[in-house]
Amino acid sequence: MQYVWRVLIPEMGYSCSFVMHGILTVAALHKAYLIPSEREMFLDLAASYSNAGLETFRATLHLIDNDNWEKYFGFASLVVLYVSALPVRNSKNTNVVASFFELFLFVRGIRTLLVTFEEGVGRTKFAPFAHGVWIVDPDDEETSKNAPLDRSPLPRDVYEALQGLSSFYEDNLQGDSRGDYVAAVKDLRRSINLMAYAGINIEIGMLLFWPYVISENVMADIQAQNPHAILLLCYFSVLLCALEQRYWFLKGWSRRLFGVSDERLKEHPALAEMAKWPRRQVFELYGTP
């Protein structure tokens, strides 16, 4: 994975202007994170580079084919980092649920765009992106069982907590919503398995697998800030918080969410009660940022 980020993508940037703009975007963001006194200047630079890269990316996207898809894949991966860096880009209290929706929508769109070339990733220099995330098959019956957590940064009772959330949705939702939310919890459990088998070497893609597979109905509920969707995001944020310990550009997402969830769920006592477990993990287990 380090080879991809440190060698392959920089090499690609020398021959592709929008990939270079993507690299400069992330570099400027990192400077904004490291040097708070010059934060605004570097954020302006990051936005400028991002806009320049996206302009060329969009203008040439219709030309994507089997010979050049790698540079589009590389740029898209860089943009995921930029979109993921909301806490760095905006230190104020923005609408974090809307930002989750934006991130999820983007990663779903990128997968739709590149699905034709997805199977070929494992046979290219980008293979670490595939093998680094899919260290086990999340659909395999054996590996879908609870993974050992003794070497994982995840909470030791995370599987029990997810089972409780699934039972809560079974008991409190009706019709299609019940099935969609229970399936979303099941898929979140698959992300947990990917992270658990990785031990301390967790990757972002292990978590961003989840937005790929949740239903359109759940996505619509996230956009509408439905209380049940916000509760689901609270559990998602526990996994996100584990990643925040490792990746600078993610720090702050999970804690911001609870500022919204506390307000949105206060009129729904049963949901607020269910949100206590993820809140405790984010603020007590993982401590302050």
Q: How confident is the model at residue 205 (pLDDT cuts 50, 70, 90)?
A: confident
Classify residue 204: in a domain, yes or no: yes
Classify residue 236: in a domain, yes or no: yes
Give the contacts of 194 (CB within 8 A, at least 6 positions apart): 133, 134, 135, 136, 138, 206, 209
pLDDT digits (tens, 9 = 90+) for 40-57: 999 999 999 999 999 999
What's residue 207's pLDDT?
86
Q: Of 39-48, 75-84, 117-126, give the range with the top mean pLDDT.
A: 39-48
The strand ranges marked E within 42-191 are none
Query: Residue 278 is encoded by which pair of tokens?
Result: 């993820």
pLDDT at 85 over 80: yes
End-to-end CA distance of the chain: 26
pLDDT at 114 over 80: no
When comparing pLDDT for 96 and 21, which is higher?
21
What's residue 73's pLDDT?
86
Sign of the alpha-carbon dihedral angle for 229, 231, 235, 241:
positive
CB 161 within 8 A of CB 188: no
Residue 245: name the closest of 211, 202, 192 by CA: 202
Last residue of a domain, one of 131, 146, 168: 131
Residue 229: name the closest of 191, 196, 188 by CA: 188
What's residue 119's pLDDT?
64
Question: How many independent structural domains does the chain possess?
Answer: 2
Classify residue 42: in a domain, yes or no: yes
Helix axes 175-198, 158-172, angle to 10 degrees: 170
Same domain, 65 and 176: no
Classify residue 136: in a domain, yes or no: no
Classify residue 105: in a domain, yes or no: yes
Same domain, 96 and 164: no
pLDDT digits (tens, 9 = 90+) for 239-257: 999 999 889 999 888 888 9
What's residue 46's pLDDT?
96
What's residue 122's pLDDT?
63
pLDDT digits (tens, 9 = 90+) for 224-234: 999 999 999 99
Last residue of a domain, one of 131, 166, 192: 131
Q: How confident is the model at residue 178 (pLDDT cuts 50, 70, 90)?
A: very high
Q: How confident is the model at residue 118 (pLDDT cuts 50, 70, 90)?
A: low
| CA 267 to centroid of chain Cα atoms | 28
How far apart CA 100 and CA 110 sit, in angstroms, is 15
For the chain, what is the radius of gyration of the CA atoms?
Answer: 19
**Range of the structural domain that residue 6 is part of:** 2-131
Query: Residue 105 is encoded by which pair of tokens?
Result: 């929508």
Which range is least confidently modeled, 1-5, 141-145, 185-189, 271-275?
141-145
CB 262 within 8 A of CB 218: no
Same domain, 237 and 122: no
pTM over 0.85: yes
Give the contacts of 230 (CB within 8 A, at least 6 positions apart): 97, 257, 260, 261, 264, 265, 271
pLDDT at 111 over 90: no
Give the contacts of 120 (CB within 8 A, at least 6 positions apart): 66, 69
pLDDT at 133 over 60: no
Same domain, 214 and 266: yes
Q: Count of residues for the chain?
A: 289
Residue % of the chain over a pLDDT of 70:
88
